């Protein structure tokens, strides 16, 4: 059976868990990282020598790095659906996954850490506004792209939507003012109709570090300690 190593509130693990559920795969979530530890063990180092999450073990095959895992699962178990058979469509999905990693994810995750992961009395309004504007500017490019089609790689949901869909949930649930991005918002609402997205991405992550930590600890019931 597939093993996923990580924690269900980690920004890098969520895309892997969502992918596995979109594909209907049986898997075991091995809780690791954050308050769950395990990363400094020799047994985990044999799975991921970087001692970071996520990582998977699929039979005798081990793999780490979030987007590499998403691609592997989609290519291995979702060819023709999440992994497009058309090479150009697959390349477009790959392109936006890379763009997510280099542009969209960093700007939104920094905004997330400046708000949710910072105590309210320590937050810097000027920094938050700058990060918000940076994130909105980045996502405006995706908004323009989505004006031509329903999903990232065309009119069907693919692996290209997965990392960006996780970023979108963070973006739309941080308490800041956002500009109207109608095509992005419509795409996000389509994702919100997907049961696997509802269950594994649309998690209330709290409004401050104390709430965040309590929610993460409560997620221990979802995996194997």
pTM of the entire predicted model: 0.96
Give the Cα separation of 94 and 83 in Å (integer).
10
Give the Cα separation of 39 and 49 in Å (integer).
9
Question: pLDDT tens-digit profile of 37-49?
Answer: 899 999 999 999 9
Q: Report CA-CA distances (Å) from 104 to 82, 95, 168.
A: 21, 13, 9
Q: Report phi then psi at 59, rounded to 5.
A: 70, -120
**Around 214, how many Cα atoms within 13 Å sit in the side-chain half-sphere?**
8
The CATH architecture annotation of domain 2-81+210-222 reads 3-Layer(aba) Sandwich (3.40)
- Predicted local confidence at residue 77, as pLDDT: 98
Question: pLDDT tens-digit profile of 186-215?
Answer: 999 999 999 999 999 999 999 999 998 999
Domain with CATH 3.40.30.10 in the chain: 2-81+210-222
- Predicted local confidence at residue 220, as pLDDT: 84
Domain with CATH 1.20.1050.10 in the chain: 87-193
Low-confidence ranges of the chain (pLDDT < 70): none
Query: Does domain 87-193 sit in CATH 3.40.50.300?
Result: no
Q: What are the contacts of 105-110 at 24+ separation with CB within 8 A?
A: 105/11, 105/163, 105/167, 107/131, 107/134, 107/135, 107/138, 108/135, 108/138, 108/139, 108/167, 108/170, 108/171, 109/11, 109/167, 109/170, 110/134, 110/135
């Amino acid at each position: 059976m597939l093993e996923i190593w990580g924690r269900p509130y980690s920004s890098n693990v969520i895309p892997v868990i969502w992918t596995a559920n979109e594909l209907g795969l049986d898997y075991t979530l091995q809780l690791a990282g954050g308050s769950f530890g395990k990363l400094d063990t020799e047994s985990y180092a044999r799975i991921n020598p970087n001692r970071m999450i996520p990582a998977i073990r699929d039979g005798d095959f081990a793999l780490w790095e979030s987007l590499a895992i998403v691609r592997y699962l989609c290519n291995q178990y979702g060819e023709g659906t999440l992994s497009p058979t058309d090479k150009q469509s697959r390349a477009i999905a790959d392109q936006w996954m890379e763009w997510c990693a280099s542009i969209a994810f960093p700007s939104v995750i920094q905004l997330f850490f400046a708000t949710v992961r910072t105590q309210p009395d320590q937050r810097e309004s000027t920094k938050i506004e700058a990060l918000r504007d940076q994130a909105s500017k980045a996502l405006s490019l995706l908004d323009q792209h989505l004006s031509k089609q329903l999903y990232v790689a065309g009119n069907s949901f693919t692996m290209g939507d997965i990392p960006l869909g996780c970023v979108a949930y963070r973006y739309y649930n941080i308490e800041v003012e956002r500009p109207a991005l109608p095509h992005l918002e419509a795409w996000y609402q389509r994702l919100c109709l997907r049961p696997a997205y509802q269950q594994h991405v649309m998690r209330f992550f709290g409004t401050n570090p104390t709430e965040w930590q309590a929610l993460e600890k409560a997620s221990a019931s979802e995996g194997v300690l």
